[in-house]
C-alpha cells in the first residue's frame, strides 16, 4: 500500500519577471528613441558645403553675388558594437541544472551593416562558472525575449543592420559541485570591420573603429534553498495491523528549506493506493478542511483518476529557515 506523490514547482520570481518585462519595455523604448534620434549618417554619404557672399563695391549701389567652392567629404564607416547583460538580477541556478539562461542585448551602433561575432567568455577562476563545453549561445530568433530551443537558433555570427540590435542567450548546464555562490561569465562581441590603413582620403569611405569589441558579463547565483517532502501513514486499528475496513491517515509535508527565496506554483498530486478507497471530506491543508470538488479552494479529489491534488501556490521566506505546509487525507482499506 504505497502511494505516489508528485510535487511540482516552478522556480521563478514572478514579480522579478514582471519587472524584467517592464525594464525590457522601457529599454526597448529607449533603444527605439535612440535609434530614431541618433541613427548615424550612413557611410559613404557625401556632405557638401558652399557659401554665398553678397557685397557692394564702395561707392556703388549694385550688389554682387558670388559663390564659394564646394567642400565635400564622404562620411566614413564607423564600427561600433556593444553588448549589455539584460537580466536585472543574478539568475538562480542549482548544481547540475541544465539550460540555465542569461540574457544579453547586442547592438550595432555603427553606421553600416556588421557581422558581429560572438564568443563565450569563461571565468576559469570559478568552479561555478559553466565550462565552454556546457554552454550554447542562442539568438532570440522570435524576438520575444524568452529562450525557447524550438524557435531560437544557436549562433556564433550575428548579422546586424545599422542601428539594429538583437537579444542573445547564454544557455548553460551548471557544474555539479560548485565551490562558490556566484559565477561571472559573459559574451564577447567583435565587429567584422578593421580600421583602414594608409593615407586618409576625404572622398573615400575609410573604416574607423570606435568600439571594435565589447564584453558583458552575467551572473548565476547558486540557489541555496530547496523543497523537501515526506509522506507518512497512521493506521487506525487497535492492534496496529491493517484489516479490511481499517482507516489510514496519510500526511504529506512540503518544506522550503535554506536561504531566502520563493518557489512558485507548488502542486502536490497523490494517487490513492490500490486496495484502498478515499474517504470523502477528509482532505485538509494545515488542519483546515478542503472540499473534494475542484472549486475555489486549493484541494480536490478526482475519483476517476483516484488522485488527490492540492495547489500550494508559492512557498516563500524572507530569511533563511524553513517554511512548511502539511496535507492530510484518509483512506479505508477495501
Partner 1 sequence: MKQMTKILLAGLLAGASLHAESEPVAKPETTKQSQSPVEVTTRSLQLKTVKTPKGKKVKKWVRATEVVPGDTVRYVNTVRNRSGQNIEKVRIVNPINPHLIYLARSAKCAGGCTIRFSIDGGKHFAAPKELFVKMKNGKKRLALPKEYNAVEWVIDAIPAGESTTVEFKARLK
Binding residues for partner 1, rule: CB under 8 A, are: 38-41, 45, 47-71, 73, 75-78, 111, 200-202, 206, 208, 210
Return phi, psi of residue 113, to 5°.
Answer: -65, 155
For 306, residues 6+ apart whose C-beta sits below 8 A from its C-beta are 271, 272, 278
Q: Report the nearest approach of partner 1 to the CB of residue 109 (Å).
A: 9
Q: How far apart are CA 210 and CA 216, in angstroms?
A: 17
Q: What is the DSSP string of 84-131?
A: EE--SSPEEE-TT-S-EEEEEEEEE-SSS-EEEEEEEE--TT-TTSPP
Instruction: For partner 1, give the closer residue by CB, 79 or 118.
Output: 79
Instruction: For partner 1, give the closer residue by CB, 34 or 119.
Output: 34
56, 119, 140, 159 from 113: Cα distances, Å: 51, 19, 19, 7
Cell 514572478, located at residue: 14
CB 229 within 8 A of CB 5: yes
Grid cell, residue 28, equals 526597448
Q: Report the nearest approach of partner 1 to the CB of residue 212 (Å).
A: 13
Q: Report the nearest approach of partner 1 to the CB of residue 40 (Å).
A: 3
Instruction: For partner 1, give the closer residue by CB, 45 or 288.
Output: 45
CB 45 within 8 A of CB 168: no
Q: Report the nearest approach of partner 1 to the CB of residue 196 (Å).
A: 9
Instruction: For partner 1, give the closer residue by CB, 162 or 292.
Output: 162
Q: Report the nearest approach of partner 1 to the CB of residue 73 (Å).
A: 5
Q: Report the nearest approach of partner 1 to the CB of residue 204 (Å).
A: 9
Q: Report the nearest approach of partner 1 to the CB of residue 104 (Å).
A: 24
Instruction: For partner 1, give the closer residue by CB, 70 or 125.
Output: 70
List the strands of the sheet with 185-190, edge to edge. 157-160, 114-121, 185-190, 213-218
Instruction: For partner 1, give the closer residue by CB, 78 or 160.
Output: 78
Instruction: For partner 1, give the closer residue by CB, 37 or 239.
Output: 37
Q: How far apart are CA 257 and CA 268, in angstroms?
A: 17
Instruction: For partner 1, give the closer residue by CB, 32 or 293.
Output: 32
| β-pair type (284-285, 276-278) | unpaired
Burial class (CB in 10 A: 0-12, 13-18, 19+), 75: middle
Q: Report the nearest approach of partner 1 to the CB of residue 84 (Å).
A: 19
Q: How far apart are CA 108 and CA 191, in angstroms?
A: 9
Amino acid at each position: 500500500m504505497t502511494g505516489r506523490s508528485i510535487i511540482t514547482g516552478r522556480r521563478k520570481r514572478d514579480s522579478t519577471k514582471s519587472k524584467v518585462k517592464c525594464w525590457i519595455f522601457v529599454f526597448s523604448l529607449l533603444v527605439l528613441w535612440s535609434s530614431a534620434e541618433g541613427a548615424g549618417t550612413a557611410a559613404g554619404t557625401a556632405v557638401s558645403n558652399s557659401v554665398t557672399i553678397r557685397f557692394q563695391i564702395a561707392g556703388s549701389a549694385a550688389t554682387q553675388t558670388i559663390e564659394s567652392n564646394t567642400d565635400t567629404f564622404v562620411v566614413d564607416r564607423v564600427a561600433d558594437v556593444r553588448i549589455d547583460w539584460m537580466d536585472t538580477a543574478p539568475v538562480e541556478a542549482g548544481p547540475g541544472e541544465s539550460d540555465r539562461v542569461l540574457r544579453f542585448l547586442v547592438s550595432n551602433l555603427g553606421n553600416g551593416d556588421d557581422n558581429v561575432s560572438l564568443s563565450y567568455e569563461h571565468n576559469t577562476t570559478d568552479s561555478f562558472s559553466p565550462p565552454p563545453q556546457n554552454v550554447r549561445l542562442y539568438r532570440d530568433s522570435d524576438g520575444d525575449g524568452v529562450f525557447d530551443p524550438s524557435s531560437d537558433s544557436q549562433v556564433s555570427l550575428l548579422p546586424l543592420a545599422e542601428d539594429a540590435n538583437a537579444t542573445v542567450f547564454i544557455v548553460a548546464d551548471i557544474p555539479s559541485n560548485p565551490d562558490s555562490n556566484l559565477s561571472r561569465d559573459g559574451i564577447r562581441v567583435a565587429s567584422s570591420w578593421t580600421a583602414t590603413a594608409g593615407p586618409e582620403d576625404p572622398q573615400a569611405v575609410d573604416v574607423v573603429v570606435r568600439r571594435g569589441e565589447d564584453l558583458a558579463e552575467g551572473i548565476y547565483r547558486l540557489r541555496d534553498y530547496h523543497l523537501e517532502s515526506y509522506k507518512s501513514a497512521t493506521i487506525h486499528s487497535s492492534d496496529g495491523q491493517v484489516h479490511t475496513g481499517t482507516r489510514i491517515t496519510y500526511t504529506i509535508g512540503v518544506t522550503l528549506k535554506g536561504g531566502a527565496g520563493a518557489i512558485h506554483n507548488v502542486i502536490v498530486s497523490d494517487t490513492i493506493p490500490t486496495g484502498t478507497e478515499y474517504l470523502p471530506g477528509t482532505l485538509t491543508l494545515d488542519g483546515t478542511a478542503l472540499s473534494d470538488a475542484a472549486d475555489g479552494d486549493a484541494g480536490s479529489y478526482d475519483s476517476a483518476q483516484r488522485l488527490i491534488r492540492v495547489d500550494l501556490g508559492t512557498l516563500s521566506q524572507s530569511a533563511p529557515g524553513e517554511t512548511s505546509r502539511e496535507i492530510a487525507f484518509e483512506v479505508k482499506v477495501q
